[in-house]
Structures are given as C-alpha cells and as structure tokens.
Amino acid sequence: MTDLITPGARPIQHRTAELSRCGRYRYRLTREWDDARPPATFVMLNPSTADADEDDPTVRRCMGFARQLGCGSLVVVNLYAWRATNPADLPADEGLRTGPDNDGWLSQSALDALDSEGPLIAAWGTRAAPRRVADVLSLPGMGRMTALAVTRAGHPGHPLYLPNGLRPMPWRPVGGVL
C-alpha cells in the first residue's frame, strides 16, 4: 500500500503525541501541515509506538487520506490507549487497555472535529469489543461518525488495508452495537 503522500506536498509543520507519564498509553497523536484547513480525526483501535517524532505505516496512511480529503492535519485517537504494535498484545483487562484518561481525549477530539467541520472517521477494524464501541459512541461529539469503508460484518475498515480514493460516509454499528 502507498501512503498517499505525494511529491511536493506540504511538509509536516507540527507534530504532537499526548502520552501518559509512564509512556504506556498514547491518548492523541497529531500531524499538521496546513493550519488553515480542518483536521481529519481518525478513531482507531489502539496506538502503536508512533510518537511525536516517529510515524508508523498506519499514521503515514492516515496522513495520506487526510491530505486526499483536503484536510490540513491529522488527529489520531483510539478506543484503547495502551500502546502495542499488535492488538493481540493488548491487556485482557478492559480498564487497563483503555487507559485512565482516554475517554476525555476521545470526546475532546470528537468535539474539536465537530467545531472545525473536519471528518471524524471510525477506523478500528474488526477487533473492537462491542461494549467498548457502544461506550465510545455515547461520548460527547461522537454522534457524527463516518468510515472510509465498512466490512461485511459492519465494522469500520482499517486505513492500512483500504484502497486510495475513498471518501468518508456516515457510519453507525449494525443494529446499534456490533
């Protein structure tokens, strides 16, 4: 998969990553290249090791989709804030993998997307616990969720595995909760 970053694209001007003191949790990651345009906010499953300095393939892919959508920045938040490259490495305990401050970051990021009129994109793939999805969708600001693609089972597609050229479409879980 290509990362959709085109030659001549504006360089990243500002990079942030909101981490817990222990570094175990990443609550929000941002990349900005044009502050005159709205952000694209992606709600993913869990963060990898990407931080304020380093990108990973998923972050690069999301930046490409954000640029393609005409956005000026990328915001990434996650259903679970526990940092793990492989979702199978997430702790079994729901509270431990979610993180103590995660819901506040999720809600604030969704409200920021609403205020800026930028897209709020569900992008966590097929591994989210239905109860967690329901909890996140009930947070302030999460009511206008979109997805770039939807699986046969109704899950929002993960950007790393999606083709170029997709546009966000309204998304709600099948039957209210997966």
- Strand intervals (E) in the chain: 14-19, 26-32, 39-44, 73-78, 120-122, 146-147, 169-170
Q: What is the pLDDT of residues 57-77, one digit of tens each?
A: 999 999 999 999 999 999 999
Mean pLDDT, rounded, of the chain: 93
Q: Which of 109, 44, 33, 43 is nearest to 71 (CA)?
A: 33
- For strands 169-170 and 39-44, give the pairing: unpaired
CA pair distance 24, 83, nearest whole angstrom:
6
Using CB atoms within 10 A of its CB, is residue 6 exposed (0-12), middle (13-18) or buried (19+)?
exposed
Q: Which residue has the higher pLDDT, 73 or 7?
A: 73
Looking at residues 15-21, what average pLDDT do you find? 98
* pTM (two decimals): 0.94
Looking at residues 16-27, what average pLDDT do you find? 98
Of 46-60, 103-117, 162-176, the one with minimum mean pLDDT is: 162-176
CA pair distance 43, 158, nearest whole angstrom:
10
Return the pLDDT at 174: 76
- For strands 120-122 and 146-147, give the pairing: parallel
CA pair distance 32, 42, nearest whole angstrom:
14
Phi, psi of 103 (to 5 degrees): -60, -35
Looking at residues 110-122, what average pLDDT do you find? 98
